[in-house]
Amino acid sequence: MSIMVLSSSIPEDIISTILDELSDDVQSLKRCSLVSQSFLPHCHKILFSYICLDHPTRSRGLYQMITNNASFTPYIRTIEIISSAHPEFDDHDWVTMEPTLAPLLRTLHNLHTFALRKKQLLSHLPWDTLPGDLRFAILGLSVSAIDLACVTNVPMGHFGRLVCLKNLRLMRIGSDQGHALDLGPLDASSPPSPLQPVGYLESLNISDSPTCGRHFVTTLTDTRSLLKLSRLKDLEMYGDNDFVGTIMEAAGQSLQRVALSGLGNDRDYHPSPFIGLPSFSTLPALRSLRITTTFKRGHPHDPLPLLAQALAGATPRDTCALQDLIIYIDLYHVWDVYITPGNVAALEEYAFWPAFDEALAARPGAYPKLEKVVVGLLVGCGKEAFAEMPKRRMPMLLERGVLEFTL
């Protein structure tokens, strides 16, 4: 009883600090929730903020708990569903068979983030194998963040009406060539009413999802879409995708950070190559750009000359906010183990270097806030052969004092 009286007199901010320190210790949080009524709300907030459902019994247990006591539902902010085969359903995927998932999602009115992924990242969960009520419940969520991984045939058109959505991550979202993609609500011929609410995506991450990614971008750039890209601040992409420029143009003056990786890989599942970036004159708020690419000198879709061309588009009148520009060039799988004089010459004579140097440093005032330009060569042995290259190929950036050349 003495503990109960003592704990009830502790200021609430002190209680919050103590419990936040224990946020990774579930057993201690459970004990603290029994100490005093004053500890209970914050304990519940931490314990129930993230729920992972990777087994049918977890879904049933959670559904039964909140059915019996709905006071828990406001604390559930993130729910992640991990699908996998389960012996209870004759080794079928439990997510496609479990009846409590749909009614459970419909009760979570304070949900912030929804995630659905396949446990085995090399396999996929077909969207059309989910029960109809579960698909309807997912598409009806008013969440600000969605994370989908290893799901096929997701109806991209429905994202055009998710006006609450702020953050979206699509990873390995495939498409079945024999299954028509559902463009959903955009099939209507008339534009949206001015009275309809409009939402704005702020963060977008698309990884290894070329076909569905393109359909998603087509959806959000359609005038009938209620979810817009015009306030996008953060863009992250993996793979050669021909719609990167479309996204950046749609985001325009709001875009602040861009990270593009996995460029120049020529993989079968990236059938449409990277075709360039918009002029930096149209991206005045862009502060950070990071690019990772395989060395593709002479290739028609080499991303780096296209980058230099986009950088050259900015003028002193545009007041571009670019501060950090990081480029990593992967040479590991381009050359043999040993670096030959021919390899050195190929990199030394790369026309990108002087174009890049001139675009960033030859015009005073074009990039007044530029603080750091990192150029990294991902190469095994023979690094010393490239050590002096910046002096010869990027002298203006060196003179400006912003170039970091790493090997």
3-state secondary structure the chain: CHHHHHHHCCCHHHHHHHHHHCCCCHHHHHHHCCCCCCCHHHHHHHHCCEEEECCHHHHHHHHHHHHHCHHHHHHCCEEEEEECEEHHHCCEEHHHCCCCHHHHHHHCCCCCEEEEEECCCCCCEEHHHCCHHHHHHHHCCCCCEEEEECEECCCHHHHHHCCCCCEEEEECCECCCCCCCCCHHHHCCCCCCCCCCCEECCEEEEECCHHHHHHHHHHHCCCCCCEECCCCCEEEEECCCCCHHHHHHHHHHHCCEEEEEEECCCCCCCCCCCCCCCCHHHCCCCCEEEEEEECCCCCCCCHHHHHHHHHCCCCHHHCCCCCEEEEEEECCCCCCCCCCHHHHHHHHCCCHHHHHHHHHHCCCCCCCCCCEEEEEEECCCCHHHHCCHHHHHCHHHHHHCCEEEEC
Say what the pLDDT of residue 40 is.
66
Low-confidence ranges of the chain (pLDDT < 70): 1-47, 176-193, 266-274, 336-337
Asked whether residue 185 is domain-assigned, the answer is: no
The total number of structural domains in the chain stands at 2
The reported pLDDT for the residue numbered 229 is 97
Final residue belonging to a domain, choices 29, 45, 61: 45
Q: Name the residue range of residue 256's domain.
A: 232-268+285-407
pLDDT of residue 318: 84
* 174 occurs within a structural domain: no
Q: What is the pLDDT of residue 216?
A: 93
Residue 72 lies in a domain: no
Residue 6 within any structural domain of the chain: yes
Domain-embedded: residue 355 = yes
Q: Which of 11, 27, 45 is a domain's end point?
A: 45
Is there a domain that residue 139 lies in?
no
Residue 133 in any domain: the answer is no
In this structure, is residue 35 part of a structural domain? yes
Residue 50: what pLDDT? Answer: 85
